[in-house]
Amino acid sequence: MGMTMTQKILAAHAGMESVKAGELIQAKLDIVMGNDITTAVAIPEFQKTGAKEVFDKEKVVVVLDHFTPNKDIKAAEQCKSCRQFAYDTNIKNFFDVGEVGIEHALLPEKGIVVPGDVIIGADSHTCTYGALGAFSTGIGSTDMAIGMATGECWFKVPSAIKFNLVGKPSKYVSGKDVILHIIGLIGVDGALYQSMEFMGEGVKELSMDDRFTIANMAIEAGAKNGIFPVDDLTIAYTKEHSTKPYTIYEADPDAEYEREYTIDLSALRPTISFPHLPENTKTIEEVGDIKIDQVVIGSCTNGRFSDMKIAADILRGKKVAKGVRTIIIPATQKIYLDCVKAGYVEDFINAGAIFSTPTCGPCLGGHMGIMAAGERCVSTTNRNFVGRMGHVESEVYLASPAVAAASAIAGKIANPENMEG
């Protein structure tokens, strides 16, 4: 029996001719990544190993993005410990205030991750880099510590689910709608410890940003990773952003999949995930009258330039509804600057929104958008669990940037198609 794309990458990094689902392996790592929260926890564990240096100063990445600029004393102390560790170990890829970005947008933009890599990150949305044809997955801080010391990590080889994408999405259907539809279809544990492997003619109809969004939320279906084939678009993106060598892996024709789904992109509609699980999805036609208090556009899921553009296109010349706090957060400094140059920041501010420095902030109930009891938010983030963005009696509705921007104007969950003209 042949191997899936994920299995081929893992076999190569384990120095094995082949691997099979369920097998335990030890694999070499191309990147070990942590943020201000998880690195601070990993540092004492790293020190317990007795290691004085990280295994490779160019392959360990630390990004201070969750609570930065620091929201309180505890966050400041966490970041201080990360800074000192980065300086003491001479980590090349250390990103702090002024050059920071949300980690899962920053690493591809900086060319740190490329096709064929094996990447672990002490953040669950590390699975984002599967959009580039890499194996990337979230791990705990202890595994991060051992990875930093040894450059290796153990894995149980995942079985796979095949998602055959066909058709072309309509104007206001994006990668966010695709992955919300899939999670609604299979559930939040529908791909538990499995690889979500996306393929088919429909892949070429998805931009790299769409693919990043879809891979990013594989974890919301319980997956070990999500992965896309490497095509001309992937190669062009990689060459634009990186000088690192890369390897293209392809699934064998006789690769084994636990299940297969066909997703017709042309049949999808703007999709919203209702509280309090990402699987609780409805199409825009099924929503009803849901009044809102806040809109957040940003995060590692939807804070890229294309997300900013569609939000600006909808908000331009209009005003957000009275009483709706609209918070827009570009994912990196470069995206921030590109928004300034494109005039989007003026569009946002004239519409009555605010525009923030890059941060995870409100996504995890960190800062800059915490909600009170009874408040509702339409957010382009990735999770809507109880208390995710503040009070346990607040509600988060997950949606695309188009739906979020339209909702900001309407004061309730709204169809972006109704904002045209």
Domain end residue (candidates: 216, 241, 264): 264
**Residue 151 shares a structural domain with residue 260:** yes
The per-residue pLDDT for 421 is: 59
- Do both 258 and 325 map to the same domain? no
Q: Are residues 259 and 279 in the same domain?
A: no
| 125 upstream amide cis, omega within 30 of 0 | no
Which residues lie closer than 8 Å to 60 by C-beta, 6 or more apart? 31, 32, 33, 54, 89, 91, 93, 148
DSSP letter assigned to residue 25: E
Buried b (16+ CB within 10 A) or exposed e, 66-98: bbbbbbeeebeebbebbeebbeebebebbbbee
Q: CA 296, 299, 301: angle at the middle one, nearest 5? A: 115
3-class SS at 256?
A: coil
The total number of structural domains in the chain stands at: 2
- Whether residues 177 and 291 share a domain: the answer is no
Q: Are residues 355 and 372 in the same domain?
A: yes
Amino acid at 59: K
Helix (H) or strand (E) holding 8: helix 5-14
Quote the pLDDT of residue 382: 93
Can you state the percent helix, strand and coil of the chain, rounding each to 5? 40, 20, 40
Q: Are residues 291 and 258 in the same domain?
A: no
Name the residue among 414, 421, 152 with its Cα closest to residue 284: 414
Identify whether the C-beta of residue 103 lies closer than 8 Å to the C-beta of residue 123.
yes
Domain range for 274 is: 270-416
Q: Is residue 409 part of a domain?
A: yes
Rounded Cα distance, 244 and 344, in Å:
32
Residues 22 and 89 in one domain: yes
Are residues 234 and 274 part of one domain? no
Same domain, 283 and 387: yes
| Residues of the chain falling short of pLDDT 50 | none
pLDDT digits (tens, 9 = 90+) for 329-362: 999 999 999 999 999 999 999 999 999 999 988 8
CATH number, domain with residue 315? 3.30.499.10
> Do the domain assignments include residue 171?
yes
The residue type of 401 is: P
Q: Based on the domain organization, do 332 and 195 belong to the same domain?
A: no
pTM of the model: 0.95
Domain boundary among 264, 282, 314: 264
User: Is residue 421 situated within a structural domain?
Assistant: no
Statement to judge: residues 28 and 142 lie in one domain: yes
DSSP-derived letter for residue 101 is B
* Residue 17 included in any domain: yes
Mean pLDDT score of the chain: 96
Which domain-ending residue is among 218, 243, 264? 264
Question: Are the C-beta atoms of residues 209 and 184 closer than 8 Å to each other?
Answer: no
Q: Are residues 222 and 276 in the same domain?
A: no
Name the residue type at position 58: E
